[in-house]
Structure 1
């Protein structure tokens, strides 16, 4: 494990060519552990169950992450209100608790704390730039108070909203990273990855890339397109990628949220640790130096990324003490046919089976395609929202 000393900031590390490994998908990981509700996907666990969030941070740190991103995904006040968050916790309480937990664990190793903001219901409801920026401002006030090391604007489907977020985050004086949840087709208004990246850089982001919605190779391809666009424009930036841990070759422009398996039946699509080795190498070869994960990523996935890039980083993560390179620990197994699998070529050539008879190899996405400006569709969906249906459910319960 790398020695802990004076910590460099994110830009110093990237400028020197260091590989920065991000963490994984807290929302999905904590939902599976029983601390996040699927649907709202809000992070009140930071205040409600801090021990769960702290432990997951520690597992990612041990696996090789040197960024502890605050568990503040969807922690804006408008999102919490929109999704019926428990009134016991305000946005400020959740954001402060998340910052404290991330800092506590980051201080246990050579890790930085990143304060994160994400897309807002206010933007999707066509509220003004001023109103949307005010939402981001409330969050970064907490990040400044807690002195995070850098800022991340992540999970934006529309480049315009990401630009607004970057402009607010830049006022902090901290380095700013920005990632969109887009694929090769671009954002939901059809802005290409290259043009999106140029707009992010011009808005003030020093690190640009993508996260979520698509599998690792699709995301690496998208960041490659972003990199080409930035270079064509004569601009400079560092690049980041934090994809899904699911295979999604059948996804359209909205990614895995359109898959019929989303969100409760995605397990057959999970990448193996060996798939993660290939992802890490492809990302590195593309010129991406901030490499992490999003939904579906567990600590062992990040460990695989760290192990693949150990020659370049110069060290293995602490969690590798219990692993062994390319399954080397299997040499001690009692069964000879399992011992024979303790080699790289076996795992690289393996085509894992699903174990499900007649399991389809591809799905047909739902293809909703809802974007900002599709007012009629949004009003239709709003009319059937959980909040408006609640009186009917209450009445039904009373009648029984």
Structure 2
């Protein structure tokens, strides 16, 4: 188990970095189907999951998040594999627990939007709570240090998730992150900052926003949340170049096709490392204590965030040092094969 828990770290003035984005990264690597987005890779290629956990920790993540996002009953039913629900969840939790134990990091259970919740339909609310309950109980039974509840488009579903963690989680602290749609409020009309404040008042250890919005379009809302909430807040955007006019990754239009870029053409909108570095700097200035990235995340991005937050993870050993490059480095290291004239052809000074 970790030497310090989530609440202890935050109350002691520490920041917590979280690498998310497993769905998109495994889709990119060819181990997950876009569309259904079910984490079958946990069952089919468990070592790949273990390796990505280790890779994210190597890059600076303080949290190993069990890959149970969209591993819930409704998603498994969609692909006809509901009978594998418990095995997928337990296997994912055990893999995450093992990596966390070996790296002195926190292991987080994970629940998310149920895809069926509707606030005016009691039977769907009941089904949603039942789905939360089983995943929460599996997380607790397998040693989760905290539970991340995330990507809720309606405040009411986020509140139900938090209440379920309080009811079934045996005191495990909750991080509750909502997704910010382009309409400017949650889909049930609750402003983002007000929703976060209500969740904080109801006992969430951390509140904030994750997914759908990129750094440019999420930061204005994070600033409002920081002003509204007294406790720790979280910011975990997608690393795509969203704008205030196209604030969600689902809003982005591919100029080559004039069609929605989500999901296959999102790489055309990928943020640069410099943009992620600037995002992390702004988060630090705002006072965001829990920071990371969601769909589209990769280890080189997490290293940027970690270094801005004053860390030197193992991956920092390999941070860029262009002074050592044979063509673009300083004169002492510049290859004698290339003259300065040759160098200017590759890297002009003006």
Q: Same fold (TM over 0.5)?
A: yes
In the TM superposition, residue 273 of structure 1 has moved relative to its aligned partner by 1.6
| Correspondence 1:16-95 to 2 at 5 A | 16-81=12-77, 83-86=78-81, 90-95=84-89
Contact persistence 1:24–1:302 (CA under 8 A): no
Separation in 2 of the partners of 1:227 and 1:75? Answer: 31
Separation in 1 of the partners of 2:157 and 2:17? Answer: 26
2:105 equivalent to 1:111: yes
Q: CA 1:278–1:93 in structure 2 vs 1: closer, same or farther (change >3 Å)?
A: same
Q: 2:241 aligns with which of 237, 247, 271?
A: 247
Q: CA 1:6–1:118 in structure 2 vs 1: closer, same or farther (change >3 Å)?
A: closer
2:323 equivalent to 1:331: yes
TM-score (norm 2): 0.86
Match of 2:348 in 1: none
Separation in 1 of the partners of 2:93 and 2:140? Answer: 10
Separation in 1 of the partners of 2:298 and 2:56? Answer: 8
In the TM superposition, residue 43 of structure 1 has moved relative to its aligned partner by 1.0
In the TM superposition, residue 190 of structure 1 has moved relative to its aligned partner by 2.6
Contact persistence 2:97–2:143 (CA under 8 A): no
RMSD over aligned Cα atoms: 2.0
Aligned residues: 320
Separation in 2 of the partners of 1:198 and 1:276? Answer: 27
In the TM superposition, residue 34 of structure 1 has moved relative to its aligned partner by 1.1
Instruction: Find the residue that maps to 2:293 and give its secondary structure.
Output: coil
| Correspondence 1:301-316 to 2 at 5 A | 301-310=301-310, 315-316=311-312
In structure 1, the gaps of 5 or more residues are: 231-235, 343-400
Match of 1:149 in 2: 145
Q: Which digits, 9 at most, give the CA deviation of each residue in 1:256-276, with x for residues without a partner?
A: 123311111111211122211
| Correspondence 1:191-206 to 2 at 5 A | 191-206=190-205
Contact persistence 2:158–2:176 (CA under 8 A): yes
Instruction: Find the residue that maps to 1:133 and give its secondary structure.
Output: helix
Separation in 2 of the partners of 1:221 and 1:18? Answer: 24
Separation in 1 of the partners of 2:75 and 2:200? Answer: 27
Q: CA 1:124–1:339 in structure 2 vs 1: closer, same or farther (change >3 Å)?
A: farther
Match of 2:250 in 1: 257
In structure 2, the gaps of 5 or more residues are: 253-259, 334-350
Q: CA 1:129–1:108 in structure 2 vs 1: closer, same or farther (change >3 Å)?
A: same
Separation in 2 of the partners of 1:111 and 1:102? Answer: 10
Q: List, as ranges, runs of 4+ consecutive aligned residues in structure 1 with deviation greater than 3 Å.
A: 124-128, 250-253
